[in-house]
Amino acid sequence: MSFAPVLVFFLGGIGLVAAALIAAWVIAPSNPGKLKNSTYECGEEPVGSPWVRFNTRFYVVALIFLVFDVEVLFLYPWAINLRQLGMYAWVDMAVFILILAVGLAYVWGKGDLEWIRPKHASAGSVGGKDGIN
């Protein structure tokens, strides 16, 4: 068991991309032009910059993800040692999952799991209604 092959595989992936791009650089033509290098929008002139304010939904999703991803992180070592730890650890983890389930129920009840937030959701909800999706 060694981690060195992981590095070799990483470098292999980078090498593959580099080799393909070098091959394309040798073979492919290069005639850049003003129109060719303009932003593609099906032939329309792009209006404004695409780097605009974004729908806060994505931010809320990232926050919820973070909470549950960390939880999954804690579950892995517990799962490996489940047999040795026995009932005590199971009850422990059940309580932990229950606490997070309450959190999920809260977010669910607030309407933050809906992509289009329901109108009746209270003003204290996490997501806004600005921006675009």
Partner 1 sequence: MTWLDLLIAVACVAGVLGFISVVALVAIWTERKISAHIHDRLGPMETGGFHGWAQTIADMVKLLQKEDIIPDAADKPLFKLAPYIVLSATIASFVVLPFGAHLIGTDLNIGIYYLVAISSLEVAGILMAGWASNNKWALFGGMRSASQMISFEIPIGLSLLIPIMIVGSLSMQDLVGAQAGGFWNWGVFSHLPFAMIAFIVYFWASLAEVNRTPFDLPEGESELVAGFHVEYSGMRFAMFFLAEFANMFLVAGVAVALFLGGWHAPFSFLEISAESNVILHNLVGFFWFASKGMVLLFIQQWLRWTLPRLRVDQLMHVCWKIFLPFSFVNVLIVSLWIVLTQS
Which amino acid, one-letter code, is at 106? Y
Closer residue to partner 1 (CB): 23 or 128: 23
CA distances from 118 to 41, 102, 132 (A): 32, 21, 17
| Residue 42 found at the interface with partner 1 (CB under 8 A) | yes
Q: Tell me if 78 sits within 8 A of 85, measured CB to CB.
A: yes
Cα separation, 82 vs 84, in Å, equals 6
First-to-last alpha carbon distance for the chain, in angstroms, is 46
Closer residue to partner 1 (CB): 116 or 123: 116
- The interface with partner 1 within residues 19-38 (CB under 8 A) comprises 20-21, 23-25, 27-32, 34, 36-38
**85 DSSP 8-state letter:** H
Question: 109, 115, 128, 129: which one contacts partner 1 (CB under 8 A)?
Answer: 115
Cα separation, 9 vs 26, in Å, equals 26
Question: 92, 102, 109, 114: which one contacts partner 1 (CB under 8 A)?
Answer: 114
> Contact residues for partner 1 (CB under 8 A)?
1-6, 8-14, 16-18, 20-21, 23-25, 27-32, 34, 36-42, 46, 49-51, 54, 57-58, 61-62, 64-65, 68-69, 72, 75-76, 79-83, 86-87, 90, 93-94, 97, 101, 104, 108, 113-116, 133
